[in-house]
Every structure is written in structure tokens, then in C-alpha cells.
Structure 1
Amino acid sequence: MSYVIPAPAQPSLPIQGSDQRFPVRRIFCIGRNYAEHAREMGATVEKDAPLFFCKPADAIVTDGADLPYPQATADLHHEVEMVVALGAGGRDVAADRAAALVWGYGVGLDLTRRDLQAVAKAKSHPWDVAKAFDHSAPVSALRAAAEVRPSPATRLSLAVNGSVRQQATLADMIHDVPGIIAMLSTLFELKAGDLIFTGTPAGVAALQRGDRFHAELEGIATLDGRVA
């Protein structure tokens, strides 16, 4: 097949212990999935009406790469999250079948232009410019679910310049991974290659140029980078 312009490159992530890569189709995110984070943002948690939004696949920044400070903001915030990679998909997936769709796990940052988000919230506008900008989704190398699976006791953390800013266990999540997948599949047809950011704990704060960050999903994945 020929195209009238060069075809965009396929976004992908490295896989721990393999020369192969994981092709990324779409990035889905759930907001307010940790109660303490919702409270620090002045939001209420609606368990029956979870908040979902998307990022473009080419927003990915891989482990170790410099993170360019984004344009049009003076308040870039970090939100560390467990990332789930799907190896299969479907519509209206039952929660008891959802875990079978997971190919692997990683850790990532849902970066947010907080000042633009505040304006969008005040005007009841969509969050796209605050969440779906270039380089807004740093993600680690993935670890196959066949090798390891997180448990409720698995710790999720983020340190900036050596100081821990965010820390929680997955038991603190309001919606677990099967529940998130099941709910998303009622809104979108999920497919292999989709990533799901599963929410952030309390402690979100600003990143500055020159900051170095270290994110960790205990025993599974780490992500290191520098804000350029």
C-alpha cells in the first residue's frame, strides 16, 4: 500500500528481557481511582460513574529518555500510575473474564498541565489540552503477565530528585484492574495493543526543568527520566 505522505511510526514499548516490542494502539486513563488523590484535588468519588479520558499513543516517552517540558504551561504535574497492557480485547467484557485480556504491566506517569486543567474545569470544558499533549505519557518497559502479576500489596511509588512524593499500595485503588477493563469495554471496543493507566495516589505535585524522577511498581517495573 502506498500513502500520499509518509506513514507515522508505530508507537511501541520495550519488553523486559526481550528484543521484541509491544505496539501501542490507544491509551486509556481512569481518573480519581484513589480516594486520597480525589480529596486532594477537591473532587468527589463516584464509584458508579468512573471518569475516563484518553491520550494519543504517540505521547509515549520511553524509560531513560529525556522528557521535554511541554509548551503552554507553567504548572506541569506528575501522577504515577500502574500501566496495564492488553493482549486481547472485546466489548462488554465481564469482570471475571477481564484479567485474561492482560498481556503485561508497567509503570508510567500521567503528566498533566494543571493550570490548563483548572481553566477547563472552571469552564466545564474537556480536559484534552491538559492531558493529551505531546510527551504526556512516560512509560517503563513492560513485564509479561505470564512472568509476574501485581497483588493488592504491591507498592506504587514516585521519587523526584531522590525524595518520595507519591506512595501507595494497589489495595488503595477504588476500581481494580478487572473492574476497570470491564467498565471501559462498555464504552469502547478494546483491542490488543491498548494501554490503561489505572489511576494515581495522593501526592501529585509540580515538576521543574532539570528534575529527575524514579517511578516504581514494586518488583515489576521501574521508570527513570529527566525533565529537559
Structure 2
Amino acid sequence: MATKIVRYSTEGGPAQWGVVHSDAIAPLRGIYQSTRELLLQGQVDIREAEQAKGSIALQGVRVLSPITVQQQFLCQGINYESHVRESGLDLRQFPFNTLFTKASSSLCGAHDAIVRPSHVRLLDYEIELGVVLARDINSPQTVNANALHEYLCGVTIINDISARDVQLPQTQFYKGKSYRTFGPAGPFLVLLSAAEWKRWPELHMTLKVNGVVRQNAMCGEMIHQPAATLTEFSGMHDLQAGDVIATGTPAGCAARAPSKAIAWIAKHFLSDQAKWQAFINAGQKNPAYLQPGDELRLAIRTDDGLIDLGEQVNKIVGA
């Protein structure tokens, strides 16, 4: 049975960790300053809390990001064919895995407000499955798809919030995606057994804005899947227990490619500056972009409910 780990605080107190039993938390005895410390030092503590009864009401605490700021926030782009198509890209031109990072300071809780900076007008959402490292990796590894449990401890929900009017005109993923609160994570870090890891493709992602479904896809639709991505990351740089990889988003984002006719005109008759200004002007008329007051609801679970990552509920506020 998957174990739900929650990081939380009560009445403004320090962050604590616990295991969720239905609607109550069994707190861990130890104090762990980071997700890495929890995973490397807290396994006995976790097992004891799995056997205990919940003593703290989940509804009475502030749920924090289960990924702490000490961890790397790694990401994949254009990793679902449906999103590639809606972005106006040709999949044949992207045979490689697109990897980038977000600032870990962008992480926030699953129920925290998402702050739209005052200069941003094209604020977008991206539901993603976050896979979390179980151990440190300090050398190149060839990861087998049947051995994910040897490298990954669990999964969480990530919303890769993006300022498209920064990211795209400036071609800067990091800059457009790293503002504070642009990385809601959780509510839980769901630890999976070896058998449960085999079910990750069955995880069903849904994102709603103001009650309307915008994104709806299966995680198994990924182009570059976790084993291959872990292999590639480990060949480049060190990874630590608790680091998270956001594995890309499916179709349904607010940002869409212009029609072929408009794209042709822009390419042949507009300067780059004029082209991107036209993109921003058109985007400001697109009601799909997020506005202050909008509510986001994200969920990832198997259709039988046996693996359930919980629900994110965040509201957009102005800076």
C-alpha cells in the first residue's frame, strides 16, 4: 500500500513530517530539515508511523511542499506528443530529451496562493508528475525500467507555473518559470513499493481551472520515460535523495501556437520584436491564461484509486 508522507506546520510552528492515515496524521518522532534527510535517516521513523494511528487532523494544519528548498528542481519539456502538437512544433525535430531547471525557491505548498508578478500577463499552468530520488547518485547509471524502485522513492504532483510572456519571447525557461510560488508541489510525497512503481503509466492527471477541465491525460503517454531520464541526468551531474524531476505536461495549456497562416506572415513580414509583441497582444485576449481570483485544482491518481497523490487547490493572486 502506497504511503503518503506530508510535511506540515501547525499554528505557524516549525515544519514537521508525518504519515497520512485517511484524514489524520501520525507525526514522525524525528526532526528532518530536508527531504533528503527524511529519506536517508527517517526510514525507521516512517515505518513506525505507518503502524500508528493518526492523531492530528489533516484539515487543521498548513500543508507544506514535501520537496524542500535544499533539493534540485529538475524538469523535462515537450515530453508529451499532445503538448508538442499544440505548441506548433514538429516532434521529428525534437528526438532529444529537453531538460532544464527551476529555482527551488519557487516551490510552495499544495494549498498556497500563486502570486502573479505585476509585470506578467500571460500566466500559464502545467500539471506534471514529479518523481523523487530515493538515494544519492554520484556516477553515470544505466537505469532499467523494471528497477525504478532502486532509484526513486515516490511521486508527487507538480504544477509548473509559467510566465509565457517572459519564457517565450526571451527564450528563457529558467527565468519564466522560477518566480516565487511558481512550483506548487504535493500535497503528499507518495512512497511506492517495487510493485506499485510498475503502475506509474496508469496514473491519470487532471487539471481544472474554475471547475473546468483543461488537462486530462495518462502519465504513460510520456515520450522520454523516467528510466531513460534518470540515465541521462546521472550521466551529466550528481543527484541527491529528495531531488524532484517534473516529467512534463500534456496538452491543454493556455499557450497555443498561432495558425499556420499567421505564423507564415509573422515569419516573413515581422521583426522578432514585432512578432513577440503580437504574441503578447494576442495572449492578453486569450481567457485561458490565469487571472487573479482563478482557482486551480490538480489531481493525479490511478483510476482504481489505489495510488492517489491527493489534490492541489491553489488560487491566483496579484502581486
Give the TM bin, normalised by the shorter chain: 0.7 to 0.9
- How far is 1:13 from its partner? 9.5
Q: CA deviation at 1:19?
A: 3.3
- Unpaired runs of 5+ residues, structure 1, are 1-11
Whole-angstrom CA distance in 1 between matches of 2:136 and 2:90 = 30
Structure showing greater relative contact order (alpha-carbon pairs closer than 8 Å, 6 or more residues apart): 1
Q: 2:143 aligns with which of 57, 78, 95?
A: 95
Aligned to 2:314: 225
- TM-aligned CA deviation for residue 179 of structure 1: 1.5
Identify the match of residue 110 of structure 1 among 135, 145, 160.
160
Report the 3-state secondary structure (helix = DSSP H, G, I; strand = E; otherwise coil) of the residue aligned with 2:130.
strand
Q: Write out per-residue CA displacement over residues 117-154 of structure 1, whole angstroms, 9 at most, x where no aligned residue.
A: 22123xxxx32211222111001121112395443222
1:14 Cα deviation after fit: 6.0
Identical pairs, percent: 25
By how many angstroms is 1:31 displaced?
0.2
In structure 2, the partner of 1:83 is 130
* Alpha-carbon distance in 1 for matches of 2:208, 2:245: 22
Pair member with larger Rg = 2
Cα distance in 2 for partners of 1:163, 1:211 equals 11
Q: Deviations over 1:63-114 (max 9, x none)?
A: 1111222343100100000011112131322121554111111111001100
The CA deviation at 1:199 is 0.4
The residue correspondences of 1:35-184 to structure 2 (distance < 5 A) are 35-45=81-91, 48-90=95-137, 91-96=139-144, 97-121=147-171, 126-140=172-186, 141-146=188-193, 148-149=196-197, 150-184=199-233
Aligned mates of 2:19, 2:209 — CA distance in 1: 24
Within 2, Cα distance between the matches of 1:173 and 1:13?
Answer: 34
Cα deviation per residue 1:50-75 (whole Å; 9 max; x = unaligned)? Answer: 11111121211111111222343100
Q: Is the 8 A contact 1:98 1:181 kept in 2?
A: no
**What count of residue pairs does the alignment treat as equivalent?**
213
In structure 1, the residue matched to 2:268 is none
Of 236, 246, 249, the match for 1:200:
249
The answer for the alignment partner of 2:53 in structure 1 is none
Q: Which amino acid aligns with 1:19?
A: P
Contact 2:120 2:165 in 1 (8 A): yes
Worse-superposed segment, 185-194 or 160-169? 185-194
The residue number in structure 1 matching 2:286 is: none
Greater fraction helix: 2
Farther-moved stretch of structure 1 (138-147 vs 189-198)? 138-147
Q: Secondary structure at the match of 1:183?
A: helix
Gaps of 5+ in 2: 1-14, 21-25, 36-67, 255-288
Contact 2:106–2:181 (Cα < 8 Å) also in 1: yes
Matched AA of 1:86: L
| Matches of 2:130 and 2:312, distance apart in 1 | 11
Aligned counterparts of 2:162 and 2:86: Cα–Cα separation in 1: 15
In 2, Cα distance between the equivalents of 1:158 and 1:226? 13
Rounded to whole Å, the distance in 1 between the matches of 2:208 and 2:217 is 12
Amino acid at match of 2:294: D
The amino acid of 2:232's aligned partner reads M
Equivalent residues of 1:28, 1:196 under 8 A apart: yes
Match of 1:8 in 2: none
- Point out the more displaced range, 65-74 or 78-87: 65-74
Residue number in structure 2 paired with 1:189: 238
